[in-house]
Structure formats: structure tokens, C-alpha cells
Chains A and B, each alone.
Chain A
Amino acid sequence: MFPAASSDRTLAIYLSLAQYPILSAPIRKRMRRELFERGITKPAAFEAEAREKAIHTQALEGLHDPFMEEPADVWDLRLTRVREHLTDFYFGYNLPFDLFEQIVRQVLQERGAESITDQISFNPELAPQAMLFEQALAIDKLPENQRRQQMARLQEIKVVLIRTMISDQLAYVNIAKQWFTIDDLNQIRTRKIGQGKIGGKAAGMLLAYRILTEMGDDEIRNGLHMPESYFIGADLTYTFMALNGLMHWADQKYKLEEQIRAEYPKLQEEFLAGLFPADILDKFRTLLRSIGNQPLIVRSSSLLEDNFGTSFAGKYESHFCPNQGSLEENLNDFTKAIIRIYSSIMNPDALLYRRAKGLQDYDERMAILIQIVEGERYERYFLPHAAGVAFSRNMYRWSPQIRRQDGFMRLVWGLGTRAVDRVGSDYPRLVALSHPLLYPEASTKAIRRYSQQELDVIDLHENAFKTISASELMRPSYPVLRYLVEVDQGGYLTPLRIMLSEANRDKLVVTMEEMLRRTPLARRMSTMLQILEKHYLSPVDTEFTAYVLNPDTAQPDIQITILQCRPQSHLQDDDVRLPKNLREEDIIFSTPRMAPEGRIPQIRYVLFVSPECYHALPTQTARAELGQTIGRLNAALKAERFICVGPGRWGTTNPDLGVKIGYGDIYHSRSLIELTGQGIGLAPEASFGTHFFQDLVESNIFPLAIYLDDPGVIFRRDFFYELPDHLPDFLPGETHGQCIRLIKVADFRASYHLELVMDADEGLSVAFLERDR
């Protein structure tokens, strides 16, 4: 007998369950279990009926070939809905309503916790995220012994969530799954707008933070700050493009280079005219409202970017949003920043980089990482005390005692953009983390010359990112000035013991010295980098900001915020490793002194200054003229790839110690190699480029030294002394009586060029012949 008014009950069940859009699934599952246990229907019969009805609904909706016409996921959805309806129907007709209410109450109380074993039937790879979280959180809540049984399940869910929400780069997932908790992932979910992954940059930042929190000691944990971050899922790129009719640009990556370049401005223009869907705009608005007037940085976080294997450094854009206008103005700036980053996926540099790296066919999408800018307000400006980039391996050693494995840092005052980008005319403080107080420069004059002159800041009044003169903020009232600058006392630098009026501003030099001396920044940064390197299974580089805590005390502390972290992937490249089985006859020179890390490929010319001839020059004037010739040759060799080899210290001011030239005389060269040892004039210590070290670093010129007396050194005299001089090819009519020789590698062996590999792991730099390809 069917009870009366049962159709009312079915409706009541349906309406009641409509209140629980998420928990309705486990409730219905429990309802079906009741139906099966009470023998009202059997699972197989129920499933068969559901399929039959589903096929019927296909017909109703105008589909005639049920298996071929409908994609699998739509069919699944159809089946699920029919199954739900059928469950309500059978329950409503056969079982009392208070039993239904009892089930609902139970499920609500448990919030699904009890039903884990029932749910094993679903496939996490296909399940909705909400369900995954629900289950994972439930497992997390289980008592320890039950929880242990579910660990594999939890791990699987975690991996799926990492893969769908953060990054599907396997190398990343492999590490990330060991570190992230469900709670971390849930945090990301609640701070994410739009579907899709959050991309490489966001992924790196979160992972680094998690690793440091787990593995760091109390000092690191307490001094670590996580930037307040929000994410925009990568799938929004396509939504945006589709909505604004921009999909026709999607094939840009397959076009010719000239076309890519020519069309980019038009592409940008069209992107900038685009709009976001209203619901997304509403979410942006809510986000901006909750953030208030804090300055933001909107950063690219593409799927390929900053991840394991590719660096993409500087290929995509980041934009500061000072966020000082009205809500709608800020929203406008904010969306424009996002759109600019979207269009930067198609910028020529990025596309050509992908082409070169074999990443062209990847479905690159752009997620966005939004961070509240770290820093503090000082008058009209907003800036951090210090910022920079730090590397777990130091590739720039200017003194033998510097330990490569202790890391390296480029440190600036103000926003880190000045440390990240190489700005040419301005310099960050270079810090060897094994010896943080050791300058590359020897003299106060040079330290001053290579000091930071300008700061990147946010101008809150003008609502703009700005570069200002450092002296503008060299005021007694700037709270941490003494940690950033020193006083040039005319030949030596002293800390800022007393800061009176602004009269002495021109004597102040930004050195960051006292920050390095007084706070644990360098030591702690080094430890953090080592931890990250160990657990990333790769050397890493990071961007960070630093904040001096209690600057008015004798022992101030430092707070470090890691803004991003990525593997220094190029260090694992074979590029910088010496090839196995190098034949001795292919080696032109080889030196074990302080090998940096890098490779200079395709060297066609070697500019050689003969030590014997140089030291035999009769006058200082003759030596000075030689320097000028090198300057002219440098300009003439602009289009060629060459290195310089000469006696003693390149760039010295004393011609007895080496060739007196300035940075302007050699900047097209890729390496400066200093010969020293018996027979080379005064045989001074090599300078390793310290006369203009920072210039060399900024323009990637490698300084090397060959101590001819070192055991194992190779120096092919026949190469350097016996080949024709090509100097007249570039500077017609000039000759320096064999003092300067421009050697063409191909003269030594036709169709060959030199490769200079500096392998820090091996502690050896070798220039060897390689056949032209």
C-alpha cells in the first residue's frame, strides 16, 4: 500500500534538500542505503532504472543516439540528476518523512564525517572540489587511529587538489604534496577568484612559506612573514578572452617573429578595451573593499612561470596598484593591471622564449597573484625598509674565502624592483652571505660609485609607482636610516651615529651596511635558503622584503617576507657543467681559480694582450694608448662574441699591475681573464674584476683568473701567440706591435668556436673548442 499524500512528501523532500546544495549528496546517499537495507529496491535494479530513465530524458531533450551524441561529462551529470530524483521519489513513497528528517539531522551533525567509507566510491580526479575538501577535512578530523587508515586517501585528495588548484608540474607536485596541509589548500581556495590554477609564482611563494614554517627553527618561524595574498584562477584568462572576442589572438604563438612583434601593440590595445563579467567584477570590488587603501602588487603567475624547469624571469609583467583612489578608480586600475598581464602572455619576448625552450605547444594560461605590498608609509611614500633577491648558491665570488653554498643577495632600499631588474646606472648592495660585510669594491670611492642612488617607491599622493632620488628620504626622521646609509668621512665610511639636520645628506651613501652588521638578516637569509634548497631538491632563488623590528634598540631584529621562491633551474642545466670526456687537445685554457657558474657559448674572438710585450712597453703613455685601443676595439666588436685575456688586473689604475681600462672600454666582452704568475710583470694577485665588479655583475661579464704557476693549469701558448692578428680587420690601419692581438678561433681550427664553461661544482673553468653547428 502506498501511503496517501506521498507525492506531497516527495516534493517536500525535494524542497528540503534544495536547502543543502552540498550536503544533499551525502543525504541522498544515506536515503538510498535505507531503501536498499529495507529491501524496497536493490542497488542494481535502482541503477538500471536510473539509466533507463536517463536515456528517456535524452529522447525528451531531442537526442536520439544516447551514446554518441552526448559528451561523457554531460551524461554523468544527467545520470546524477535522474538518480537524485529517483531517490526522492522512492523514499517519499515508501518511507516516513520523520526518517528523512532524522537522516538530514545526522548528516548535518556529522558534516559528512561518518560517511567517509561510503564515499570511497567516487573518483577524486573527477569529483567537484567542494566534495574533495569536505572529505579531506573530515579525514583530518578523525581520531588518530582511524585517520591513519585514511592517509593514502588523504594524500590522493591532496595531490588532486594541488594539481587542480596550484600547479600540475610534476616536480612541483612531488614536493608540494609532502608539505601542504588540507588547511593550507583550503586557505588558498577561500582567497581565490575564478576557476583554474593559481600558477607558478603563487605556488612557489606558498610552498616556500610552508617549508620554512615546518623546518625552520623558532628564530626563522618568528621572523618570517607571509604576505597577504589573493589569487585569480588561470581559467579566467579564457573567459575574459572569449567574452571580449579576443580568442582570435590565441594562435599568436605560431606566427612569425616579425608578425608577433608587429601585432603586439594592437593586441594590447584590444585587450585593454576588454571587460570582465559582472559577477567577477563584483568579486573584485568586494576584495578591494576588504583590502582598503593598502597598496597592491598585481603579479603574473602563469602556469609555466617560475616553476621547476623554466624561469621566465621578467617575461611577464607585474603592476603596482597604489590603490589610493575611490573604489571605482581603484577597481579600474586593478582590472587594467590584470588585463595588461593577460596580454603579456602574448608578448614577443615570452613567446619567443617559449619557442626557444620548446614550450610553445603548452596551453599557457595566466593566473594572477595579488599581494598587499610589504612596506610602511613614510610621509607621502610607501616602501619597505629593504628588499631584494636572494640565491641559495652564490655565483658571484669576488674573493676566494666566499663560500658558494652560503648564498648571495642583491639588497636595496625601497621596493625590490631595483634589485630584481638590472637598471644599469644604479646598483644594489651585493652580499655574499658567507661574508656579508665583504664588499666587492676596495675603496670608499668605488663603494660610493656602486651604491644605490634611487629608490622605487609608491607615491601615495600621486597614486603612482615612482622612482625617486635616495637623498629625498635621507632624513633624520626616517626611522631606519642608520641601517641603510653610512657617512662618507672622506676616505672612509662610518655608521650614522648621530643624525642632525639634513645638511650632510650629500655625504650619505646607501650601503645597507648596518642592516647587515646589526640585524640577523644575512645569517637568517642564508639558513632559510639552505632549508629551501634542501627541500626543493634544487638551488633556489627568492624575492623578499625585510623589515627592521625595534630599530631604536641596541639589538634590533628583522622580519623577512618571502614574496616568491623558485628553483634556480638553470643551475641544473647541463650548460654549466663540464662535458665528460673533454679531449686535452680541444682545451685552450683551463683554470681552477674561483670558478663562477655559467657558460659563454659561441666565442669567435679572443682579445689577447701579450704580457711580455705589455710589460716591455717603454712608457706609461704607450700603455695608456693600448687601453684606448682596447676601448675602440670593444666598440668595433659590438656584434661579435669575444673574451679578453691579458696580464694582471683588468681595470687597475696602476699600469704596472695590469691593463688600465675602464668599464666603458670592455663592456662588449663576455669575460675578462687575468693572467698572473711568474714572468707576468709584478705577478700581482688577480683582481677578479673588483675594479668594476658591480658593472660586470649587472651586465653578466665573467671575471676569471689564470695563475700560470697553478698545478693543472692549461694555457695553449700556440693559440695565443702564433695565430694571425685580426685587429686590422676591425680597426683598419692600427697595430700595436703584437701587444694586442685579436685572435680568431677559427684560425686555430676551421669551423670551430670556443665554449667557456665555468663549472663551480667541479671548481674548474675551461675554454674548449667545439664544432660549429
Chain B
Amino acid sequence: MSDLINAFQMAQAQFDHVAKQLNMDPQVAEILRWPSREFKFEIPVRMDDGSIRLFFGYRVQHNDVRGPAKGGIRFHPSETLDTVRALAMWMTWKCAVADIPLGGGKGGVPVDPATLSVTEKEKLCRGWVGQMWRNIGPRQDVPAPDVGTTPQMMGWMMDEYSKLVGQYTPGVITGKPVGGGGSLGRTEATGFGAIFAVREAMKHLKIDPAKSVVAIQGFGNVSQYAAIGFNKLLGGTVACVSYWDRADRAAYTVSHPKGVDPKFLQSITDQYGSIDKEQARKAGYIIEEGDAWITKEADVLLPGALEGQINAESVKRVSSRVRIVAEGANGPTTPEADEVFKRNNIFVVPDFLCNAGGVTVSYFEGVQNDMNYYWTREEVLQRLDTKMTQAFNSVLEMSEGEKVFMRDAAYMVAINRVVKAMELRGWI
């Protein structure tokens, strides 16, 4: 999304569209079209060579009516205020649709972290907190890792914050490493969350998961656990996954006539996500071109990595068997492809519902930090299941009640909740 110049205008347009469907009060809509608060500040960092380099930091708190703002911090060279605003707004809807008591925020620094040494990165992270600490906190705004930031950086940031406020405050940041205040189940959260949503969709469509087949795009964190979840939790067959081969600088689809074993593939995947082709072939896997995944005979398509994978062209190649599209990635379906799905009555689990598992477990992390008591992995996943199921069903109910598509319904559920909270608090 960071390369979209008018990301914020697009987010506003998307919001306007939903506001119209909701017959929303124009006075209220105007409030929600803009962020509640925006911060822009400078972060001077003494570099390893002794020079001082000036960075700029952003934090946007779009809306915190339902609870403290929540959202990642991005270190990316093309970060702008508008991308941060758009993503902050998006977080408001995402937390609301998952019905977790958090608002929407996002932050960032326009920088390529690959150009920084570890100490420089640490200074930048601590510098960011040094400027923002008065306006973040477990009851105000809780950042998390995002593009270009890592659990390690979150640790530094949490530490800096704790020093400044004078007390250990792990709940100020989520996405911390396990043992450093992180939550178990965080790694699986997004992929499993997507699978819980898929399971509910199948229940609704009366599809037997054990007899169903999924074609997955990508094999990063989301896709790996979506594949494992589909296989182990639902008992279904994973027709294929795809991945980016670092060495070949090309994408491949990996399939197996009897269905892939995601755990096996995980075991032959390197730290950059590339699958060892030789070992795969030896185990009877078929390696095809990158976009072959979309053509597989499957009941479910689960794009789990990149934006815009299902577009006007590629949608033509989708098998007629497909009945569900579960958007594990952000924005994998272009509006043109969306129209085709609507026409063909294909059930879409929209991205910010489908991948809300991540933010849900982030929320659990904060909850555990607050009570200073940590759940087992099973407890976390059980609670995640409950949350995802509730979220899915409230969106489904909206979709059926208002006769709108799932994507619109998800926004409608989310925005409705935010407005309701504003009303109850007397903001409007």
C-alpha cells in the first residue's frame, strides 16, 4: 500500500461509499473521514560515523473511541503522512470488526532500515519513543511491528518507554518476543484466524471441510499457518502453495497430487521463504509457474501474500469449483475481480475480517501484559477462535440483513460499532 500516492484519498472514498450504504449522518461522517490526531516530529540520530542524521517520525491516531489506538510502526523509504493516515483509518475498522476494544493508529519513519546499522536502528527506535512517549501508552496508543520493524525493535521501544515513565510497562507495545512480554500463538494467529473464518464460511455454505480443497498463494507466515490450519484443524486438502524463489528471482507454485504437507514444506523453507525445489521434487511435489495456484481445482482460494493478485485478467482463470475466497493478505482482489466474484456468487471473506487474527492476538498480548499473567498457546488460540467466529457471524448477519456483499458488510459492522461508541460517549 505504501506505493499508493493517494492512499488516504482512497481510504476516504472507501469510507464514503460505506457511509452512504449506512445512510450515515453527514456530520458524523465528516468526523470519521479525518484522523483524530496526527503527530509529526523530528528524530535526530547520531550515526556510527559521528554525523547527525535527521529523520522524521509520524504517528496518526485515527480514532480511539472504542479504546486506545492500535497499529504498527513502519520503517519504509516511501512512507508518507497520507499512507500512515490511510492505514490508521483502516486499523480503526479492523479492530472494530474484530470487536476488540481498541481504536486505529499507525506510525512510521521514511527510511530504508537496510541502510542502518543495528545501533543506528536502536537509536532511531528509542528516538521515536522519546518524541512520542507522552502520547502513547497502554491506555492511549499501543504500537506494534509492521513493515520494516521487528520484535527486537519493539523490545527497545518498550524499554525506552518504561525508562521514561519510570515503570515496567510491557503493554505499551505489542508484537514483543515471547519471554519479553510477547504472547504465545502470535505466530499462528493470522493464518489460523483466517482458517477459523473459512470454517465458518463453509458452515454457512454447507460445505464439508474434510472433503474440501484450498489453493493458497504465498508461503510466508500467514500462508504457512493457513495451510497448516486448513490441513490439521479442518482436515481439508491443500492443493498448492506458492513462493518467491530468491535465487531464481521468480515465483513458483508448489503442488502435490495428493495434497501438500505444509509441515514438510515448512521444514524445507529457508529464512527468506524460499522452498528447496530439489527436496520438494524428490518428495513428489510438482513445481509450476508462480500464478498457476489460481487455476487449481479448489473450493477455497486463499491469497495470503501480495496485493492485487486476483485481478481482471487472472480472475478469468479461476476454477468454476471455487466457492470461497478468503483474503489472508491485504487487498489481494482488485475491484474488477471483486465484481466477477459478486456476479458468480462467490463468497468472499474480506481481508480485514479474514486477517484480523493478528491484531486480535496483539490485543490478547496487551491484555496479558496488563494482568501480568500469561495464557497457554491453546488458551490463546481458543480465545482467538471465539473472537474470529463472533466477528465472522456479525459480518454475515449484516450481509444477510442488509443484502450487501461481505466486504461492504464488514465495513458496515465496523463503522456502525465506532459510531455507536461515539454516540454512547457523547462525542456526537
A167 to chain B, nearest CB (A): 45
Cβ contact of A554, chosen from B30, B419, B420, cutoff 8 A: B30
Which of B25, B30, B412, B420 is the one whose CB lies under 8 Å from A495? B25
Cβ–Cβ contact B27 & A554, under 8 A: yes
Instruction: Please tell me if the beta carbons of A498 and B416 are within 8 angstroms of each other in the complex.
Output: yes
Chain A, range 444-483, C-beta contacts under 8 Å to B: 476, 481-482
Contacts of A501 in B (CB 8 A): 401-402
Interface centre among B26, B28, B416, B419 (most CB of A within 10 A): B26
**Among residues 13 to 53 in chain B, which have CB atoms less than 8 Å away from a CB atom of chain A?**
22-28, 30
- A500 adjacent to B22 (CB under 8 Å): yes
One of B25, B27, B401 near A498 (C-beta < 8 A): B25
Query: When chains A and B are docked, how far (Å) is the Cα of A501 from the Cα of B415?
Result: 15
B428 touches A (CB below 8 Å): yes
Residues A499 and B22 in contact, CB atoms below 8 Å apart: yes
Q: Contact mask B384-405 → A, CB, 8 Å, 1/0?
A: 0000000000000010011000
| CB < 8 Å neighbour of A503 from B23, B401, B412, B416 | B401
Residues of A within 8 A of B370 (CB): none
Q: Is A113 an interface residue (CB 8 A)?
A: no
CB closest chain-A residue, reference B28: A497
Residue B379 lies at the interface, judged by CB distance under 8 Å to chain A: no
Of B402, B412, B423, the contact of A497 (CB 8 Å cutoff): B423
Which of chain A's residues have a CB closer than 8 A to the CB of B23?
476, 481-482, 496, 498-500
Q: Could you tell me the distance between the alpha carbons of A496 and B28 in the complex, rounded to whole angstroms?
A: 11
In the docked arrangement, what's the CA distance between A494 and B412, Å? 19
Closest CB in chain B relative to A456 CB, distance in Å: 25
- For chain A residues 682-710, which have a beta carbon within 8 Å of chain B? none
Q: What's the Cα separation between A500 and B401 when bound, in Å?
A: 9
Shortest Cβ distance from B363 into chain A, in angstroms? 25
Residues on B with beta carbons closer than 8 Å to the beta carbon of A503: 401
Q: Which residue of chain A lies nearest to B20 when distances are taken between CB atoms in the complex?
A: A552
Q: Say whether B402 contacts A500, CB under 8 Å.
A: yes
A183 to chain B, nearest CB (A): 40
| Nearest-Cβ distance from residue A155 to partner chain B, whole angstroms | 51
**Distance in angstroms between the alpha carbons of A499 and B23 in the assembled complex:** 5
In whole Å, how far is B18's beta carbon from the nearest beta carbon of chain A?
10
Task: State the CA gap A497–B421 with chains docked (Å).
Answer: 11
Tell me if B22 and A552 are in contact (CB < 8 A).
no
Shortest CB-to-CB span from B200 to chain A, Å, is: 22
Tell me, rounded to whole Å, the shortest Cβ–Cβ distance linking B301 to chain A. 30
CB of A553 closer than 8 Å to a CB of B: yes
Residues of chain B in range 104-147 having any CB-CB distance to chain A below 8 Å: none
State whether A497 touches B26 (Cβ < 8 A).
no
Q: A497 touching B24 by the CB < 8 A rule?
A: yes
The distance in angstroms between the C-alpha atoms of A356 and B136, with both chains bound, is: 79
Which A residues lie within 8 Å of B24 (CB)?
497-498
Q: Give CA–CA (A141, B416) in the complex, Å.
A: 64
Contact between chains at B22 and A498 (CB < 8 Å): yes
Name which residue of chain B comes closest to A551, CB basis.
B26
Q: In the complex, A499→B28 CA distance in Å?
A: 13
Tell me the bound Cα distance from A496 to B419 in angstroms. 11
Residues on A with C-beta less than 8 A from B22 are 498-500
Q: Which residues of A contact B412 (CB under 8 A)?
A: 500
- Binary CB contact string for chain B from 187 to 227 against chain A (1 if under 8 A, 0 otherwise): 00000000000000000000000000000000000000000
CB distance from A525 to the nearest CB of B (A): 22
B26 touches A553 (CB 8 A): yes
Complex CA distance for A706 and B415, rounded to whole angstroms:
53
Kindly identify which residue among B25, B402, B415, B416 contacts A482, using a CB–CB cutoff of 8 Å: B25
Question: Chain A, 747-765, contact with B by CB distance < 8 Å: what is the 0/1 string?
Answer: 0000000000000000000
Nearest chain A CB to B264's CB is how many angstroms away?
Answer: 48
Do B419 and A497 touch (CB < 8 A)? yes
What is the interface of chain B mostly: helix, strand, loop, or mixed? helix
Asked if A552 and B416 make an inter-chain contact with CB atoms under 8 angstroms apart, the answer reads no
B407-428 residues at the A interface, CB under 8 angstroms: 412, 415-416, 419-420, 423, 428
Least Cβ–Cβ distance between B20 and chain A, in angstroms: 9
Cβ of A497 and Cβ of B401 under 8 Å apart?
A: no
Instruction: Given A476-B23, A499-B22, check contact A494 B402 (CB 8 Å).
Output: no
- Residue on A with the closest CB to B398? A500
User: Which chain B residue has the least Cβ–Cβ distance from A498?
Assistant: B22
CB closest residue in chain A, given B24: A498
Q: Which residues of A contact B402 (CB under 8 A)?
A: 500-501
CA distance A494 to B420 in the complex (A): 10
CB-nearest residue of chain B to A494? B423
Enumerate chain A residues within 8 angstroms of B423, measured Cβ to Cβ.
Answer: 494, 497
Complex CA gap A631/B58 in Å reads: 72
Q: Which chain B residue lies CB-closest to A556?
A: B26
Inter-chain CA distance A496–B22, complex, in Å, is 11
Shortest Cβ distance from residue A446 to the other chain B in the assembled complex, whole angstroms: 22
A613 to B401 CA separation, bound complex (whole angstroms) = 60
A407 to B403, CA, bound (A): 46
Residues 728-772 of A, flagged 1 when their CB comes within 8 A of B and 0 if not, give 000000000000000000000000000000000000000000000
CB neighbours (8 Å) of A497 from chain B are 24-25, 28, 419-420, 423, 428
Q: Most A CB atoms within 10 A — which of B24, B25, B398?
A: B25
Question: Which of A476, A481, A554 touches B26 (beta carbons < 8 Å)?
Answer: A554
Q: Which single residue of chain B is at the shortest CB-CB distance from A487?
A: B423
Kindly provide the distance from the CB of A618 to the nearest chain B CB, expressed in whole angstroms: 45
- Closest B residue to A482 by beta carbon equals B25
A496 to B25, CA, bound (A): 7
Contacts of B27 in A (CB 8 A): 518, 554
Q: Which residues of B contact A500 (CB under 8 A)?
A: 22-23, 398, 401-402, 412, 416
Whole-angstrom distance between the Cβ of A281 and the nearest chain B Cβ? 48
Per-residue 0/1 for A490-514: is the Cβ within 8 Å of any B Cβ (1 yes, 0 no)? 0000111111110100000000000
In the assembled complex, the CB of A511 is this many whole angstroms from the nearest CB of chain B, namely 15
- For A518, the chain B residues whose CB sits under 8 A away are 27
**Are the CB atoms of B26 and A498 closer together than 8 Å?**
no
* Cβ-defined contact, B419 with A498, below 8 A: yes
Taking the nearest CB of chain B, how far is it from the CB of A593, in angstroms? 35
Nearest residue (CB) in A for B30 is: A554
What are the residues of chain B within 8 A of A496 when measuring CB–CB? 23, 25
- B-facing residues in A547-568 (Cβ within 8 Å): 552-554
Bound CA span A552–B30, Å: 11
Most A CB within 10 A of own CB, among B27, B28, B420: B27
Q: Which residues of A contact B415 (CB under 8 A)?
A: 498
Cα A553 to Cα B30 with chains together (Å): 9
With both beta carbons as reference points, the residue of chain B lying nearest to A477 in the complex is identified as: B23
Give the Cβ gap from A437 to chain B, nearest Cβ, in Å: 16
C-alpha gap A501/B404 in the complex (Å):
11
- Bound Cα distance from A501 to B22, whole angstroms: 9
In the docked arrangement, what's the CA distance between A499 and B419, Å?
12
Please, which residues of chain B bring their CB within 8 A of the CB of A499? 22-23
Q: Closest residue of chain B to A500, judged by CB?
A: B402
Bound-state Cα–Cα, A501 to B21, Å: 10
- How distant is the Cα of A553 from the Cα of B27 in the complex, in angstroms? 7
CA distance A503 to B412 in the complex (A): 16
Question: In whole angstroms, how far apart are the Cα atoms of A494 and B24 in the complex?
Answer: 14
C-alpha spacing A497/B24, complex, angstroms? 6
Which A residue sits closest to B27, measured CB to CB? A554
Chain A positions within 8 Å of B401 at CB level:
500-501, 503
Q: Which residue of B lies closest to A495 (CB)?
A: B25
> A500-B398, A501-B402 are known contacts; what are 15 more A-B pairs with Cβ within 8 Å?
A481-B23, A494-B423, A496-B23, A497-B419, A497-B423, A498-B24, A498-B416, A499-B22, A499-B23, A500-B402, A500-B412, A503-B401, A552-B26, A553-B26, A554-B26
5 closest residue pairs by CB, A with B: A499-B23, A554-B27, A498-B22, A497-B25, A476-B23
* A-B pairs with beta carbons under 8 Å apart, 27 shown: A476-B23, A494-B423, A495-B25, A495-B428, A496-B23, A496-B25, A497-B24, A497-B25, A497-B420, A497-B423, A498-B24, A498-B25, A498-B415, A498-B419, A500-B22, A500-B23, A500-B398, A500-B401, A500-B402, A500-B416, A501-B402, A503-B401, A518-B27, A552-B26, A553-B26, A554-B26, A554-B30
* B-to-A contact residues, CB < 8 Å: 22-28, 30, 398, 401-402, 412, 415-416, 419-420, 423, 428
